[in-house]
């Protein structure tokens, strides 16, 4: 898998992130600054529309997740983060009502994984998001596996699944194909387990000694 290098400030170590992981961490969130931050607005470093060196309180800026998370920690909250609409209460209620009809891929290709990142934020919606993710996965998992085990299921169904569900769907289909091959060609080659063979040999020795 393609990988990208990030130079980490912490301990000055270079850390390799898989490209997919980097894309998730770099997803953009809207952030509202709740205090003045000095000398970071220069040359549009964080705010391209600003001509000031400082970022004023109340400024709204789009930030990558990894930076937004650092700026809204419990130790010091510099920004408040706006949760993407697909994880807000209205969508959580839709998923609660009938999660199996929702096209997760259309909403967010990394629905569960990016949602799990949002659940780690210091935000009032974090806990409800975490609970929603768990319940949605439970409710949809059986259907995904049913589709994977049903050879007559429409293969285009996978287009409605998020990345994690697609992986489960693909692995489920591969497992089913391997089982079918074994049932068709391998059942005549069944061998007794070593433990069973040893037990029979021991019994035979005991009988011969009588």
Residue 116 has pLDDT above 80, yes or no: yes
39: left (phi over 0), alpha (psi -120 to 50) or beta: left
> pLDDT (tens digit, 9 = 90+) per residue, 63-91?
888 888 888 877 778 888 999 999 999 99
At the second CATH level, the architecture of 1-5+16-82 is Up-down Bundle (1.20)
What is the DSSP code (8-state) at residue 84?
P
Q: Give CA–CA dist 77/75, Å, rounded.
A: 7
For the chain, what are the domain ranges?
1-5+16-82, 85-186
- How would residue 11 be classed by pLDDT, with cut points 50, 70 and 90? very low
Tokens 């609660």 -> residue: 96
Distance set, CA 196 to CA 125, 186, 204, 208 (Å): 56, 20, 12, 19
State the pLDDT at residue 176: 87
Q: How many CB atoms lie within 10 A of CB 35?
A: 12
Question: Collapsing DSSP states into helix, strand and coil, what is residue 18?
Answer: strand
- Mean of the pLDDT values across residues 138-161? 86
Residue 191 has pLDDT above 80, yes or no: no
- How would residue 105 be classed by pLDDT, with cut points 50, 70 and 90? very high
Question: What backbone torsions phi and psi does residue 121 show, to the nearest 5 degrees?
Answer: -70, 155
Is there a common fold for 1-5+16-82 and 85-186?
Answer: yes
State the pLDDT at residue 33: 78
Determine which of 18-27, 54-63, 87-96 has the lowest per-residue pLDDT on average: 18-27
Q: Give CA–CA dist 168/144, Å, rounded.
A: 8
Q: How many CB atoms lie within 10 A of CB 208?
A: 7
Q: Where are the alpha helices (DSSP H) in 44-193?
A: 65-71, 89-97, 104-107, 111-118, 126-149, 163-181
- For the 85-186 domain, the top CATH level (class) is mainly alpha
Q: How many CB atoms lie within 10 A of CB 187?
A: 8
- Selected residue with higher pLDDT from 108 and 198: 108
Percent of the chain with pLDDT over 90: 34
- The token duo for 77 is 């909250």
Q: How many CB atoms lie within 10 A of CB 121?
A: 19
Question: Collapsing DSSP states into helix, strand and coil, what is residue 28?
Answer: strand
pTM reported for the whole predicted model: 0.71
Q: What strands lie across the sheet with 79-82, from one edge to the other? A: 60-64, 28-33, 79-82
| Nearest alpha carbon to residue 144 among 153, 134, 152 | 153
Helix, strand, coil shares, percent, the chain, to 5 = 55, 15, 30
């Amino acid at each position: 898998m393609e990988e990208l290098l990030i130079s980490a400030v912490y301990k000055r170590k270079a850390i390799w992130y898989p490209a997919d992981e980097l894309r998730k961490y770099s997803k953009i969130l809207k952030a509202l600054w709740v205090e003045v931050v000095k000398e970071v607005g220069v040359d549009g470093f964080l705010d391209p529309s600003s001509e000031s060196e400082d970022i004023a309180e109340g400024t709204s800026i789009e930030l990558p997740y990894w930076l937004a998370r650092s700026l809204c920690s419990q130790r010091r909250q510099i920004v408040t983060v706006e949760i993407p609409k697909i994880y807000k209460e209205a969508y959580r209620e839709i998923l609660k009502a009938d999660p199996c009809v929702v096209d997760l891929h259309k909403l967010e290709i990394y629905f569960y994984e990016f949602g799990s990142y949002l659940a780690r934020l210091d935000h009032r919606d974090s806990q409800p998001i975490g609970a929603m993710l768990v319940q949605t996965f439970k409710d949809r998992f059986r259907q995904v596996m049913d589709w994977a085990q049903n050879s007559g299921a429409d293969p285009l169904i996978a287009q409605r699944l998020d990345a994690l569900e697609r992986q489960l769907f693909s692995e489920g289909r591969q497992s089913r194909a391997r089982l079918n091959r074994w049932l068709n060609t391998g059942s005549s080659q069944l061998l007794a387990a070593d433990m069973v063979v040893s037990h029979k040999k021991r019994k035979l020795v005991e009988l011969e000694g009588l």
